[in-house]
Amino acid sequence: MLSIKLDRLGDICGGRGKETADRVIQAAAERLVGCVRAQDCVSHAGGGHFRVLLCPLGTAELAASLADKVCHVLRLPFTIAHQRLAVSASVGIGLWSQDGGTAEAVIAQADACMRRATNPGDGYRFDDAGLTASLTRLNGLTDDPRIALERGEFELHYQPRVALPDDRVVSAEALIRWPHPLHGNIPPSAFIPVAESTGFIHELGAWILERACSQAATWQAQCGTAIPVSVNVSGRQLEHPGFPELVRRTLERTGLAPNRLELEITESTLMHRPADVTEALERIRFLGVRTSLDDFGTGYSSLAYLHRFPLDTLKIDRTFINDVLSPEYSGVLLRSIVDLAHALGLLVVVEGVETPKQRGIVEAQGGDEMQGFLFSPAVPPGEFERRFLAPAALERVAHAYPG
């Protein structure tokens, strides 16, 4: 549970009256909804005091990561009636204790921590000082990704996708990395949602697309191999009417053939605004670019809907081969999805393959390709080139992706 209070709302809106305060609260609510997960519940208790219930209940790290995002997005100025207003927030975190406890106790704990975050814009507070200290590393989030892009701090690493049964590298997924000069590696799951909620994802996403396409074009020119590259695209990018044109121009500028690019969208993006996203995907496919549904099985989508969407590839989330499931059960589940996906003409990739046993399940159940730490994590482009674009691999890639 997060308890969030907009600091000094009365002072800031002072002379401008209640209407301005209400508009700030409304704008803050929109930012909050944009930065928590779809399933979390945001409520307004009055006077700029919000509470966020994490559903399902998360770990301390998750709560801290969300609290950090909340602090960050509320620190950005609000523009109300042509005026820029700087509002920060105090955030407290309440956690369910292992030995039970009531909802009221958790709310009281979160509210008390929020009140103790006395300095405006101070960040978030747990009840437990040790826990707070161990999580201070996450404060890297308060650094602005915009500035990181200007400073050239972002990098793209590439994870190979390999075809079964013979482990041929057939494409590369671009995954963003932020090796922060002070805080070490900040995971994309920490800053991509911030970039989405502030709108910066358009700029960052354009940079990612350009960098990945130009890398694939360079590999083709230098190594003679036309290795396809996949790029993750956020829902906010797809919803922008200019996105398909951005893709077309990027391909033109970098000289990458459209069928060497695949764009990955997550299942939750697709289900969130199916009509808009479908139209964007159709325009993208019209260019000759491939489309892929990522994290399949983690959201609400159902196999029954798959045929409605213009897709080429289905990427099955790693939970389906998780060791929590028995191998037999994983096998049955996977087989049904693979069969249906194949019937719909989709290529099936299974993500997160970490062990030979999991690889065996994927192969036995007819998965076309796999991706995961068993074969390789995402590596810098130079390493990718050395390890996977050796002359012997080139022929096989060309064979796997004719045209």
The site for ligand C2E (CB under 6 A) is made up of 159, 174-176, 187-189, 192, 208, 232-234, 294-295, 318, 352-354, 371-373, 377-378
CB 364 within 8 A of CB 161: no
Closest CB to ligand C2E among residues 192, 229: 192
Shortest gap between Cβ of 174 and ligand C2E (angstroms)? Answer: 6
Output the smallest distance, CB 140 to ligand C2E, in A.
14
- The neighbouring-strand residues paired with 83 are 80
Least separation in angstroms between residue 2's CB and ligand C2E is 22
Q: Which is nearer to Ca ion, 143 or 294 (CB)?
A: 294
Instruction: Tell me the closest approach of the beta carbon of residue 157 to Ca ion, in angstroms.
Output: 12
Binding mask 203-242 for Ca ion (x = CB under 5 A): -----------------------------x----------
* Ranges within 311-370 binding Ca ion (CB under 5 A): 351
Shortest Å distance, C-beta 344 to ligand C2E: 21
Comparison of 128 and 323: residue with beta carbon closer to ligand C2E: 323
Q: Which is nearer to Ca ion, 63 or 378 (CB)?
A: 378
Q: Is 295 in the site for Ca ion (CB under 5 A)?
A: yes
Please select the residue that binds Ca ion; options are 68, 294, 368, 385, rule is CB under 5 A.
Answer: 294
Closer to Ca ion by Cβ: residue 87 or 321: 321
For position 371 contacting Ca ion by CB under 5 A, the verdict is: no
**Residue nearest ligand C2E (C-beta atom):** 372
Type of residue numbered 208: I
373 binds, among Ca ion, ligand C2E, none (CB under 5 to 8 A by kind): ligand C2E
Which is closer to Ca ion, CB of 158 or CB of 388? 158
- HEC profile of the chain: CEEEEECCHHHHHHHHHHHHHHHHHHHHHHHHHHHCCCCCEEEEEECCEEEEECCCCCCHHHHHHHHHHHHHHHHCCEEECCEEECCCEEEEECCCECCECCHHHHHHHHHHHHHHCCCCCCEEECCCHHHHHHCHHHHHHHCCHHHHHHCCCCEEEEEEEEECCCCEEEEEEEEEEEEECCCEEECHHHHHHHHHHHCCHHHHHHHHHHHHHHHHHHHHHHHCCCCCEEEECCHHHHHCCCHHHHHHHHHHHHCCCHHHEEEEEEHHHHHHCHHHHHHHHHHHHHCCCEEEEEEECCCCCCHHHHHHCCCCEEEECHHHHCCCCCHHHHHHHHHHHHHHHHHCCCEEEECCCCCHHHHHHHHHCCCCEECCCCCCCCECHHHHHHHHCCHHHHHHHHHHCCC
Least spacing, CB of residue 38 vs ligand C2E, in Å: 14
Smallest separation, CB 173 to ligand C2E (Å): 7
Radius of gyration of the chain, Cα coordinates, nearest whole angstrom: 23
Name the residue nearer to ligand C2E (CB basis): 7 or 351.
351
**Among residues 7, 264, 267, 385, the one that binds Ca ion under rule CB under 5 A:** 264
As a whole number of angstroms, the distance between CA 396 and CA 44 comes to 57
Closer CB to ligand C2E, residue 294 or residue 369?
Answer: 294
Residue 181 interface partner, choices Ca ion, ligand C2E, none, CB cut-off 5-8 Å depending on type: none
CB of 192 to ligand C2E, least distance (A): 5
Residue ranges binding Ca ion (CB under 5 A) = 232, 264, 294-295, 351
